[in-house]
Structure 1
């Protein structure tokens, strides 16, 4: 994300804004998952490992901050190398590549190509789910997740338009990216609820469907990479405390609701955590 979502995002947008969104919101946003991270900490807490759970959040957040900073710095180093090789414009540092996907014909062609690819992938995933579902296991869960994963991406893309708007007509707290916040918190809550259902029903078919939805929809709906980019951007402003407030709100709200949704049923019903 430090490369394609921060340092080189303007270069990619110069070629195609849709490509920039696809790489950052689509690929990188889906590659990382906040809901899975939160759920693992809930499972540790439910088992009584509160200290390890707290350390998991602290160490995880530290790694996130270091990773995004490292990515940005290495990307700047690569840009410096491009400048030395005279491959970027000296005025703005943007690549000298002049090709742009900004015409109607180019956009329609790209859309058709990617829709065909999506259809093929959906078809392959559906066929493999049909073949593997009756046997259960990780293979069936994986291919089911591939089928439903795009739903999470689309929801997160839709919620992204809430970032920077703030609350109400006056736009209070515009510095909080509410779109990302809602995506991460809601995904964490649904992830916890699905885990509770999985423990309560405890059948092979239910496990396959629930795990597929968790891994696919919730994994793609929540994101750490975008969260990290926003956290890093806030740290570089004149009010860096906002980054830590934003991180605290995201983690505390998700974890607190997760305790109500997952841990309390676990403690009262005596479920066993499937590790």
Structure 2
């Protein structure tokens, strides 16, 4: 859309940036609303946590329940993920639905993006400059790298015009974009960090603005630098 290649309306930089800004503001508003709603529900369901007089004494049964709840919270998502993976694999192998081939491959490469994202998060607050230690460089790097990977794959897709190209190679690239790059990038962490930065600093502070819009502009520019030359000149 920003490059304009293959688009009837041509390059639409302003419209694309406007859409990104609107999407970012909706994400921030949704995060704040969800956080407030979760606090209300938590207070309603657990009044004893906020009122010492209502707090029951701990006993072995409560500790056992907490352990089982913790175990269930870990086991159930794992079972659901495994079932979905097997269904996607079955849909590809048994019913020959090519769409599911992309999905089960994405399930395999997705954890790699998640682990890389987690590793990058350890870099947050590690910038040597005291003036920039507030900057979540790990999250920033994750989103930028994921955007570049997605743009690179999209550029490769523009040259895949033959029937042979729409095969396993296409599905692997599409799964990498969906699974690896999708898991590496993170809107939720970015929005959470934006809200925390804005709430920890004075109202007129520009740090949250620099982080949020700096991420958007950097991802767009680097994405165009990768995508446009490959589409126009290669």
TM-score by length of 2: 0.76
Residue of structure 2 equivalent to 1:221: 184
State whether residues 89 and 96 of structure 1, in contact with CA within 8 Å, keep that contact through their aligned partners in structure 2: no
Q: Which has the higher contact order (CA 8 A, sep 6+)?
A: 1
Q: 1:116 to 1:259 in 2, by over 3 A?
A: closer
Residue of structure 2 equivalent to 1:14: none
State whether residues 64 and 228 of structure 1, in contact with CA within 8 Å, keep that contact through their aligned partners in structure 2: yes
Instruction: List runs of 5+ in structure 2 lacking aligned partners.
Output: none
Which of 1 and 2 has greater Rg? Answer: 2
Report the 3-state secondary structure (helix = DSSP H, G, I; strand = E; otherwise coil) of the residue aligned with 1:88.
helix
For the residues of structure 1 that align with 2:108 and 2:23, how far apart are their CA atoms?
A: 29
Residue of structure 1 equivalent to 2:139: 180
State whether residues 46 and 263 of structure 1, in contact with CA within 8 Å, keep that contact through their aligned partners in structure 2: no
For the residues of structure 2 that align with 1:82 and 1:66, how far apart are their CA atoms?
A: 24
Per-residue deviation, residues 78-112 of structure 1 (Å, max 9, x unmatched): 234235xx342426xx9999648999xxx9x88x9
Q: 1:199 to 1:161 in 2, by over 3 A?
A: same
Give the superposition deviation at 1:140. Answer: 1.8
RMSD: 3.7
State whether residues 129 and 144 of structure 1, in contact with CA within 8 Å, keep that contact through their aligned partners in structure 2: no
Q: 1:153 to 1:132 in 2, by over 3 A?
A: farther
Report the 3-state secondary structure (helix = DSSP H, G, I; strand = E; otherwise coil) of the residue aligned with 2:125.
coil
- The 5-angstrom pairing of residues 68-147 of structure 1 reads 68-82=31-45, 86-90=47-51, 99=63, 117=79, 120=82, 124=86, 127-128=89-90, 131=93, 136=98, 138-147=99-108
Q: 1:173 to 1:124 in 2, by over 3 A?
A: same
Residue of structure 1 equivalent to 2:172: 209
State whether residues 188 and 254 of structure 1, in contact with CA within 8 Å, keep that contact through their aligned partners in structure 2: yes
Size of the aligned set, in residue pairs, is 219
For the residues of structure 2 that align with 1:95 and 1:157, how far apart are their CA atoms?
A: 37
Per-residue deviation, residues 37-85 of structure 1 (Å, max 9, x unmatched): xxxx6566873122220211111111111111111221222234235xx
Residue of structure 2 equivalent to 1:8: none
